Amino acid sequence: MSDAASEIAKLRREQYGHSSDRRARLIDQMELQLEELEAAATEDEIAAKKVAKTTTVAGLKRRRPARKPFPEHLPRERVVIAAPTACSCCGSDRIVKMGEDITEALEVIPWQWKVIQTVREKFTCRHCEKISQPPAPFHPTPRGWAGPNLLAMILFEKFGQHQPLNRQAERYAKEGVEISLSTLADQVGACAAALAPIHALIRAHVLEAERLHGTGVAAGIRGAPIAQSAARVALTGQGRLSVFSDMTDLGTGSYTVLAQTAAEMMGLAIDQIDVHLADTDHPTSTGSLGQRGAISSASAVYAACDKLRAKIAAHLGLNHDKMAFEDGGITVADRRISLADLPVGLGAEAEMTYGDLSEQYAHQTFAAHFAEIAVHELTGEIRVRRLSSTCACGRILNPKTARSQILGAQIQGLGAALFEGLDVDTGAGFFVNHDLAGYEVPTHMDAPLQDVAFIEEEDATVSVLKAKGVGEIGICGVPAAIANAVFDATGIRFRSYPINVAAVTDML
């Protein structure tokens, strides 16, 4: 509006010169445009005031949103749209330039920012006094401040590289270009809406393509070591028992297995056991690693409970071999004694050691893994439809937690086969995908139908519990089973991981 008013003032100063009639008509035309702009602005202000009256937010001053100017240090590139050669109204070639409109768009070339200035020159016709100007250039999003290369980079980093918008905004700011998070989100949403029809067409085309199905099987073997561990148990009153160990629980069920072992040994319900872990003041365990933690620590708890049973027998003056621990008490012949009646603090500590046991026996866990996959004939996308594992891991102390261990291990094996791989920039000497934003791992969408079965067996040579560890055996062999299934579907034998879309499409 200020530019229009300035132009009117200049023309008024010249209206008494030559061609005064033509200039007067031009002034009237521009004044009419100015009145229309002022009326539109007044309507916007009235609407804003109405909204402000109905909105009560303490300490908030409403302001019209205004786009920040692009940084001055960025280079400007002028793109001048071809000017009209004749009046768009009457066709006369007697046109005179009277100004220009400039719209700016932020653009990027890899590692180089610039501002594109699109110039649309305005001309007035000497014959009919009309204004002619080239149309505004097409832009895929409203308020087109971002160039196509910049939009492509934002979308690729968001959806292709899984870079969140806040990370992108932080990086752009470090490069001297500050773009707000809400502005980036607005452009991503506009682009997604513009690309939706194309996405629907591609989706329909892809879903029409055939899929190649295959099945594969592989065997897995994993050591089942058992290591020196210690534990302490103590009665804490009201028929409760506490277990102490510096063992950790990484979500693998240590709390459950140790409580279950103590409850079985002392004849208590599992909710009467309090397990205290991850404290260096507690007896030393082997730790959570290599499918040895739970079985080693549970054996130590077994030994501590056995020692406590002997102490209780001595305290009561009874024969240890004739005592039955059940239902929260002790039964000897026709006598019944409750554990709640025993002294608080009565406890025992024990350590399990194994000498040269590992030299006498080769303790292993075994598994057979089966995979069913589908390979998209057009894109090379691999979808694992089903994973099934049958494992031999000695006595299963807790079927639910053991099954959960194998289910999680199957997904880890799936990730190793299809997703996970380190990309190294040998020129710069660093790992490109060094965080979870760039390192691909399976998601819920990638999880197939899963099934786990255990072979019932007991191995008395491993420990007093006749059980083995359950963990890595669920991974060992799963990637090989998936690779064999891909071979069955495509006839292509892959010798390295990950077997991703790029690898499949290159071979197809």
418: phi then psi, degrees, rounded to nearest 5:
-115, -20
Long-range contacts of 323-330 (CB under 8 A, 24+ apart): 324/267, 325/265, 325/266, 325/267, 326/267, 327/267, 328/239, 328/267, 328/268, 328/269, 328/272, 329/267, 330/267
DSSP 84: P
Q: What is the DSSP letter of 146?
A: B
CA gap 464, 459 in Å, rounded = 9
Structure tokens at 372: 């069913």
The continuous run of DSSP H or E covering 316 comes out as helix 293-316
Q: Is the dihedral of CA 376, 380, 383, 388 positive or negative?
A: positive
Pairing of strands 382-392, 273-276: unpaired
CA distance 33 to 128: 17
Is the torsion defined by CA of 276, 280, 282, 287 positive or negative? positive
Q: Which residues are CB-neighbours of 409 under 8 A, at least 6 positions away?
A: 471, 472, 473, 474, 475, 478
CB 504 within 8 Å of CB 382: yes
Active site members: 472
Strand partners, 207: none
**Is the peptide bond prior to 498 cis by the omega test (within 30 degrees of 0)?**
yes
Burial 143-170 (b: 16+ CB within 10 A, else e): ebbbbeebbebbeebbeeeebebeebbe
480 to 223, 406, 414: CA distances (angstroms)? 18, 16, 10
Length of the chain: 508
> Regarding beta strands 211-223 and 364-376, do their DSSP bridges make them parallel or antiparallel, or are they unpaired?
antiparallel
Distant-in-sequence, close-in-space partners of 170: CB < 8 Å, separation ≥ 6:
none
Using the structure block, give the residue that is written with the tokens 């991974």. Answer: 475
